[in-house]
Amino acid sequence: MAATQVLKSEWTKIRSVASTVWTLSLAAIVTIALGILISLLSKNEFDNMPVRERLSFDPTFISFAGMTLGQLAMIVFGVLVVGNEYSTGMIRTSLAAVPQRGTFLFSKIAVAAGLALVVGMITSFVAFFLGQAVLGVHKASIGDPGVLRAVIGGGLYMTLIAVFSMGVAAMLRSPMLSLGILMPFFFLISNILGAVSATKKVGRYLPDQAGSKIMRVVTPIGDDTPYGPWGGLVIMVLWVAAALIGGYALLKKRDA
């Protein structure tokens, strides 16, 4: 079974369902629009900020503020790409056509991840430039140290969130169950763990908190995070790899 055939087939699958278009466009629109809004608010609030916050003001990171909400649409995209095979029963037809389950799963994930990367990168660059335009005098420039890394990192972050969701959906099979776990986790639990001082040290090893470090250019004062931007991304990649290995192991073992 040639992998190129399966990649082609998965590309046809992903472009022929409506959920691909609406989840990805929602991810882009929400991230960019919310980023502009928060950049605008920050600019107006800047003069009223305490000195401490003004010193660690990170215009790049602020323009990515919309990602906390936009990533939820990326999660839905990732979950539906894999989970819909199960919820519709298509999985039996798919595996009859491609019985090499590893080839099937990783071709599907490669195609979906590629698409998420393109959308994520465009979103990240657009959110950055529009956000900076709004920030006016407080803006960062793409040529400033660490800024290009942060903007590319934003695209990578969105892609990895989607791929992590694909792995989780491959393990859980049900889209509803996957979303029911992933959405509150990334929207609430991770934030709560990161905000409470007792759990902060654990919280920063969660995929989204570790991964989002790459989008920061200015380190907040008093931040003692033991990893840098790339270290954080590696932690996130490890989470994604674990989810994918789990998904593959279960798909391999289970009856379809």
Which residues of this protein are in contact with other proteins, per CB under 8 A?
Answer: 1-2, 5-6, 8-10, 12-13, 16-19, 84-85, 88-100, 255-256
Q: How many C-alpha atoms does 214 have within 13 Å on its Cβ side?
A: 24
Closest distance to other proteins from the beta carbon of 37 (Å): 32
Contact 221, 52 (CB under 8 A): yes
Q: Tokens 């989780």, residue?
A: 168
- Name, in order, each residue with C-beta under 8 angstroms of 77's C-beta and a sequence gap of 6 or more: 19, 20, 23, 24, 27, 112, 116, 162, 165
Question: Measured between alpha carbons, how far is 180 from 76 in angstroms, rounded to an integer?
Answer: 10
Nearer to other proteins (CB atom), residue 24 or residue 34 = 24
Q: Report the SS3 class of residue 98.
A: coil
Per-residue tokens: 222: 């008093």
Q: Are 89 and 253 in contact (CB under 8 A)?
A: no
Shortest distance, CB of residue 17 to other proteins, whole angstroms? 5
C-beta of 173 vs 216, nearer to other proteins: 173
User: Length of the chain, please?
Assistant: 256
Smallest distance, Å, CB 2 to other proteins? 7
Tokens in use for 24?
């990805």
Between 6 and 134, name the residue whose CB sits nearer to other proteins: 6
Q: Closer CB to other proteins, residue 102 or residue 228?
A: 102
Closer CB to other proteins, 169 or 233, in the complex: 169
| Comparison of 236 and 251: residue with beta carbon closer to other proteins | 251
Q: How far is the CB of 136 from other proteins (least distance, A)?
A: 44
Cα angle value 52/58/237 (rounded, 5°) = 120
Residue 99 Cβ vs other proteins, minimum distance, rounded to whole Å: 4
For 220, the token pair is: 């907040």
CB of 178 to other proteins, least distance (A): 17
Terminal CA-to-CA distance of the chain, rounded, Å? 19
